[in-house]
């Protein structure tokens, strides 16, 4: 029997729950060509949301728009960015191999496309050597590609760029951002949806008035999925496979994982696998201790890479502390002077272990890490 819960993959159609408001907002933005920035901690569902909206719009607006997904996670340099960008745009706007090749010729005449069939299934992959002697011309052509294709085909183009914060690490990132912005702001038939998980980096790119992308578009802080949604989702998924879980227990799953989308699905799956017919509290407890065990080596490695004060800071979060600079908290967790708090926080943000929410609340990114810390560490 196929498991009714998925994690580590994009949540599509049946696996997708709720997010009605975000779906509507994004859909509106895409059709109205309003640039959008989506920010949330890792594994809260950014890619799934963008994908879902794309699925819906592709069906509804078949002949009116191209939606193009670019993932720059593995791009370490500007050149790699351009290559991945051009590939993705050309692929999204052509329905097959022939169109793809003629697209390269038509829109990127200055490049000699190095076209290879990467395997027998005819998944075509094209790469081209960017000639940096000709850099200005090439960059213009590539960055204007969506607008050029939009004009040539009469369709709107939605360009979704995943893991956008990575551009922050490029050599001379500021100049690169200026180049992108200078081109993209002139595109009146294209909508850019830029998203990623490093909130502090993305906020610096999009919310800092000294930066080129300041006020580039609508910023959407994606939230977790609500408890009530999880309760009905989990109960339904059990029922659809002939198993039963009460609403109370479904709620406990969401609570234990603090509504974290990836973890709720993972934990629910482990519980589902252990349930023959009817789920009970013992199964929840066993599955939780299994989950924590499975991840404990990973957590131990993380902790080994931290200073005592950083560990204590995480511990203070799991204890529910809010005012880290207060005298009591500074003493209890041995933080030293209150001036240290900023450095500790920055180091943990940098390591992707904590997140500062828009209301300034500091949370651990990984709720299971929190459970593990509470079980294994004492200050």
Ligand X SMILES: Nc1ncnc2c1ncn2[C@@H]1O[C@H](COP(=O)(O)OP(=O)(O)OP(=O)(O)O)[C@@H](O)[C@H]1O
Binding-site member from 27, 42, 227, 332 for ligand X (CB under 6 A): 42
The CA–CA distances, whole Å, from 291 to 30, 230, 300, 357 equal: 39, 19, 14, 26
**Residue closest to ligand X when measured from CB atoms:** 45
Binding-site member from 15, 55, 321, 352 for ligand X (CB under 6 A): 15
Structure token digits, residue 368: 């299971």
Question: Do residues 364 and 314 touch, judged by C-beta distance below 8 A?
Answer: yes
Question: Do residues 146 and 88 touch, judged by C-beta distance below 8 A?
Answer: no
Question: Residue 111 binds which one of ligand X, Mg ion, none, with CB within 5 to 8 A depending on kind?
Answer: none
Question: Residue 42 binds which one of ligand X, Mg ion, none, with CB within 5 to 8 A depending on kind?
Answer: ligand X
Task: For residue 209, give every residue at least 6 positions away whose Cβ sits within 8 Å of its Cβ, in sequence order, or none.
Answer: none
Binding-site member from 146, 212, 261, 367 for ligand X (CB under 6 A): 261
Residues 206-235 that bind ligand X (CB under 6 A): 225
Indicate whether 9 belongs to the interface with ligand X (CB under 6 A): yes
Indicate whether 7 belongs to the interface with ligand X (CB under 6 A): yes
* Min dist. Cβ of residue 233 to ligand X (A): 7
Structure token digits, residue 324: 């880290």
Beta strands, E only, 73-113 = none
Residues 47-86 that bind ligand X (CB under 6 A): 47-48
Q: Which stretch binds ligand X (CB under 6 A): 9-17, 56-64, 109-117, 140-148?
A: 9-17
Binding-site member from 262, 313, 369, 372 for ligand X (CB under 6 A): 262
Q: Within 10 A of 278 (CB to CB), how many other CB atoms are there?
A: 12
Compute the residue count for the chain. 379
* Min dist. Cβ of residue 195 to ligand X (A): 8
Residues 241-260 that bind ligand X (CB under 6 A): none
| Burial class of residue 21, CB neighbours in 10 A (0-12, 13-18, 19+) | exposed
| Rounded (10°) CA dihedral 366, 370, 375, 379 | 140
* Min dist. Cβ of residue 184 to ligand X (A): 22
| Residue ranges in contact with ligand X by CB under 6 A | 6-11, 15-17, 19, 40, 42-48, 197, 225, 261-262, 265
């Amino acid at each position: 029997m196929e498991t009714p819960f998925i994690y580590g993959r994009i949540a599509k159609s049946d696996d997708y729950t709720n997010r009605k408001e975000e779906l509507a907002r994004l859909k509106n933005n895409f059709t109205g060509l309003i640039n959008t920035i989506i920010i949330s901690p890792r594994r809260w569902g950014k890619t799934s949301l963008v994908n879902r909206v794309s699925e819906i719009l592709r069906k509804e607006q078949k002949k009116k728009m191209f939606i193009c997904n670019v993932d720059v996670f593995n791009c370490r340099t500007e050149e790699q960015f351009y290559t991945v960008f051009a590939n993705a745009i050309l692929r999204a706007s052509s329905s097959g191999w022939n169109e793809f090749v003629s697209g390269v010729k038509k829109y990127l005449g200055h490049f000699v496309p190095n076209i290879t069939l990467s395997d027998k299934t005819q998944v075509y992959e094209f790469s081209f050597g960017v000639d940096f002697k000709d850099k200005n011309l090439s960059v213009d052509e590539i960055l204007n590609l969506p607008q050029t294709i939009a004009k040539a085909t009469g369709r709107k183009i939605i360009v979704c760029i995943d893991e956008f914060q990575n551009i922050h690490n490029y050599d001379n990132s500021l100049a690169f951002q200026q180049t992108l912005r200078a081109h993209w702001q002139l595109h009146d038939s294209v909508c850019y949806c830029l998203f990623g998980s490093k909130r502090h980096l993305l906020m610096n790119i999009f919310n800092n008035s000294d930066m080129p992308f300041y006020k580039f578009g609508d910023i959407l802080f994606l939230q977790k999925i609500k408890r009530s949604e999880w309760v009905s989702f989990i109960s339904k998924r059990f029922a659809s496979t002939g198993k039963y879980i009460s609403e109370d227990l479904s709620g406990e799953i969401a609570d234990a994982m603090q509504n974290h989308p990836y973890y709720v699905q993972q934990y629910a799956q482990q519980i589902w696998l252990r349930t023959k017919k009817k789920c009970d509290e013992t199964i929840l407890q066993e599955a939780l201790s299994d989950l924590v065990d499975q991840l404990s080596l990973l957590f131990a490695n993380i902790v080994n890479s931290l200073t005592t004060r950083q560990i204590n800071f995480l511990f203070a979060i799991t204890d529910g502390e809010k005012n880290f600079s207060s005298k009591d908290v500074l003493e209890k967790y041995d933080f030293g002077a209150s001036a240290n708090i900023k450095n500790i926080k920055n180091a943990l943000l940098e390591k992707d272990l904590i997140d500062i929410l828009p209301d300034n609340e500091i949370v651990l990114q990984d709720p299971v890490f929190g459970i593990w810390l509470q079980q294994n560490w004492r200050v």
